Amino acid sequence: MKKNQDNNSSLKVFLRLLSYSYKFKALFFWAVIFSLISVIFSVIGPLIVSDAVKFMTGDNFLLSGLLVYVKRLAVIYLFAAAFNYAYGLLTNILTQNTIRNIRDELFTKLSKMPVKFLDQNKTGVLIGNIINDVETVGEGMISNITLLFMCSATVCVTLVSMFILDPIIALIVVCLTPLALLTAYSLSKLSKRYFSQTQKNLGLLNAVSNEMISGQKIVKAYLYEETAKRKFAETNDALYSTSVKSQFLSSMVNPLVRYIGLFTYISVGIFCVFFSVPINITTAFLMYSNQYARPFTDITSVITQLQSAIAAAERIFSVLNEKEDTEDRENAVTLNNFRGDVVFDNVDFSYSEDKPLIKGFSLSVSKGQKIAIVGPTGSGKTTLVNLLMRFYDVDGGAIFLDGYNVKDIKRESLHRAFGMVLQDAYLFTGTIKENIAYGKEGATEEEIIEAAKNADCYDFVTNLKDGFDTIISDGLMNISKGQKQLIFIARIMLNIPPLLILDEATSSIDTYIEMRIKNVFDSMMKGRTSFVVAHRLSTILNADLILVMNNGNVIEKGSHKELMDKNGFYRKLYDSQYSVSANQQ
């Protein structure tokens, strides 16, 4: 039963891959036509050779007469080569177009996936899907489909030609064919399991490598090198093991099929000699038997590559089959102007059903208020932000923005309402100008400069060698974290939205830069509803309302002074950071 399910699964994957090529059916059609014409010309060749041999063994042999056959043969094989080249060119174009579409669809799919999916999957594995798996599909699947047609056509046309020449000898060749097919099928089926494991291990190796390279400073700082090497070695060894097994089994197919083809070739020769078949017919049959056997060798190679391609395609389709972010409701509205009033109404949420995080949370925020959210790690601070942005949807209750349930607002409109500054300011590879302009389509140079001035990064940018044309990269430390944060803020300053979210925005920078950024934030937050997630309590002392969270619940709320006077959980948090100041109070 399981074998049938595996076969059905592979067939479904195969047919689904074919659907990507269907868009380019004209290319596929002409590739098949050119391959058929090439095959026909190549089948005519042995007939010309047969006539030439008959002429050479005749009484009227002349060298000039033989040259006529040589010229015919040269023209025939020249046409065969030309059409074969055209077939190969069209197949390559078909392959590249198909895998481009698969890669585009996969990338688009990942861009539409919910944050939950991206949180639960390793980045290296997803990158492996886009790069390695798609290339494997292109090399092993799409380009070989037309080759299968060409091989099948070669077998059929050659077989017909042999039956016309001598049905009995042709029948002998046909009887030996199942032996080659059975050998190829058995070994390729066995190797598929290892190809699938190889693709999986390759994705894991990408993930491990990505983690080790991107986190190299942490690896060195915590003397994790040996453990990292061991972890990499274990994954690498697993990949080596499955790769060797799959390649060993697949590499056995071709030699065995070649051996069977050679056996067929010898059998035809012996039969022709034993039954005194004319030399010209024998010559043609030997050429045909060799021509007949060659496609089986190619087919076995194709089958091996198909096993690897199907394994890669299964991984790709497993991503494409994932549920995307829930679509906007039919009656969802687009809001262009936001006041900034936010209401959390009896909100429940959990990342997993067995571990409730937020229960019955309610909060009303008016336009222009600054709401600070503090608490220990894992208390649910960032979760509130994720719910507000609809990175996750609430399990119960509702969140309202300007009186609208956020589920009734189109996501694009909702996200445009917020400016979000994270702990790690992500900058794209490109110039500083391009990174700031990312916040507003069609931004002018004057607007970019003004945003940089408002974000307090104009001076340091203009002091760089290339100024706003300086190339930066998130992976290269050619500017400091604090400077990156200021550039990130300039991006928001370019088109300041009515609501702001600051999620640990100053926790990874020094005190001096923190004060500069704090001044920028204070200016930016004036008149705007702001949510500030903070570990450093010094950054939220002037907040209109401070929410103290623990285990997903708001256990205290009030202004800084009110919470300090309560002498509760917030007071303990504050004293743990500023014991000297606390004692002075």
On whether the pTM is more than 0.75, the answer is: no
Alpha carbons 342 and 363: distance in angstroms, whole number:
8
pLDDT one-digit tens code per residue, 508-547: 556 666 677 777 777 777 888 888 887 777 778 888 898 8
Alpha-carbon Rg of the chain, whole angstroms? Answer: 35
pLDDT in tens, 338-359: 888 899 999 888 887 777 778 8
The secondary structure of 59-73, three-state, reads: CCCCHHHHHHHHHHH
Distance of CA 61 to the CA centre of its chain: 66
- DSSP letters of 282-327? HHHHHHHHHHHHHHHHHHHHHHHHHHHHHHHHHHHHHHHTS--SPP
Mean pLDDT of all residues belonging to the chain: 78
CATH code given to domain 427-496: 3.40.50.300
Q: From 182, 175, 147, 183, select the one nearest 159 (Cα to Cα).
A: 175
Amino acid at residue number 179: L
Question: Distance (Å, rounded) from C-alpha 453 to C-alpha 459?
Answer: 8
pLDDT at 313 over 80: yes
User: In this predicted model, what pLDDT tens digit does every residue of 7-44 receive, in sequence order?
Assistant: 557 778 878 877 887 788 888 888 888 888 888 888 88
pLDDT of the residue at 151: 79
Q: Where are the domains of the chain?
A: 2-320, 427-496
CA dist., res. 493 & res. 464, Å (int): 21
**Band of residue 400 on the pLDDT scale cut at 50, 70, 90:** very high
Task: Show the DSSP H helices in 141-274 as ranges.
Answer: 143-165, 167-214, 216-221, 225-274
Q: What is the pLDDT of residue 6?
A: 54
2-320 in CATH: which number?
A: 1.20.1560.10
Angle between helix 445-454 and 481-493 (nearest 10):
120
- Asked if 236 contacts 202 with a C-beta cutoff of 8 angstroms, the reply is no
Instruction: Give every strand in the sheet of 499-503, ordered side by side.
Output: 418-421, 499-503, 529-533, 370-374, 545-550, 553-558
Whole-number pLDDT of residue 584 = 42
